[in-house]
Amino acid sequence: MKETFEGLKASFRRRELWLIAGFLFLYNFSPGLSTPLYFTMTDSLKFSQGYIGILGSINSAGWVVGALLYHRLFDHLTLRKLLNLSIVLGTIATAGFLLLSSEVSAAVIYFCSGFAAMLATVASLTLAADYCPPRAEGFTFAVLMSISNLASSLADNVGSFLYTHLFDHGLRPLVLISAAFTALAFVLVPLLQLGDKKPGDPWQP
């Protein structure tokens, strides 16, 4: 109990952990496209509800393919390179929604978006897990994931507000802003001072 309490106190004292919490918040906070995309596909592109559901499955397939290829393609990367790559792919995948015009283009975009989302998830979860202090791993990891989830929820609400009240139900400017916010995470990666740290290696002070 005493060691666990000391571990909890150490969590709040570590500058690196506060920095990572801030990074995860900004990493996950880009004005969300989820709700605006649904209304665009329903009202403007006239996709059926059934096909919109199929797009969700295609997005999940992108996740699965990304997970299957992760060990072969990305396992050798340092954590810094993995984060940077996830930002690149996330930015490209988000910008890809500018090409959304038909059921075929939607299928390709959603698959690529799922693949990019898988890499971003692995990168962010690895970053959070590697920096959790001993004896407080579960608590610290839960807090960091809560921060990530809060950022994602706020992002979707902000995106919906901009789509409705500022962009007059125009998806293109929201896509550009979302992609720009994703790319902005590049600026934050050097602040983490990851060096050549490999994913899964514990943090060394």
In tens digits, the chain (205 residues) has pLDDT values of: 666 666 666 666 666 677 778 888 877 787 778 889 999 999 999 999 999 999 999 999 999 999 999 888 888 899 899 999 999 999 999 999 999 999 999 999 999 999 998 988 888 888 888 877 777 777 778 888 888 889 888 988 999 999 999 998 899 999 999 999 889 888 888 888 888 888 877 666 5
Determine, yes or no, domain membership for 86.
yes
pLDDT at 3: 65
In this prediction, residue 197 carries a pLDDT of 84
One-letter amino acid of 22: G
Contacts of 134 (CB under 8 A, 6+ apart): 7
User: What tokens does 175 get?
Assistant: 């896509």
Domain that holds residue 54: 14-190
Please tell me the predicted confidence (pLDDT) of residue 81: 92
Give the three-state DSSP class for 204: coil
Cβ–Cβ under 8 Å, residues 133 and 14: yes
Spatial distance between the Cα atoms of 82 and 129, rounded to a whole number of angstroms: 15
pTM for this prediction: 0.85
202 lies in some domain: no
Is 201 within a domain? no
pLDDT given at position 49: 94
pLDDT at 53: 95
114 occurs within a structural domain: yes
Distances, alpha carbon 161 to alpha carbons 36, 42, 86, 166, in Å:
9, 18, 27, 7
pLDDT of the residue at 130: 82
Q: Please report whether residue 3 resides in a domain.
A: no
Q: What is the predicted pLDDT for the residue at 14?
A: 66
Per-residue model confidence (pLDDT) at position 75: 83
User: Under a CB-based contact definition with an 8 Å cutoff, are residues 139 and 87 in contact?
Assistant: no
How many structural domains is the chain composed of?
1
What is residue 5's predicted lDDT score, i.e. its pLDDT? 64
CA-CA distance, 64 to 115, in Å (whole number)?
Answer: 8
Task: Supply the pLDDT for residue 8.
Answer: 62
Answer whether residue 126 is part of any domain: yes
Q: What confidence score (pLDDT) does residue 84 get?
A: 92
Q: CATH number for the domain including 59?
A: 1.20.1250.20
Q: Tell me the C-alpha distance between 120 and 85, whole Å.
A: 9
Is 68 part of a structural domain of the chain?
yes
Half-sphere exposure of 89 (CA within 13 A, CB side): 22
Structure tokens given for 50: 């059934």
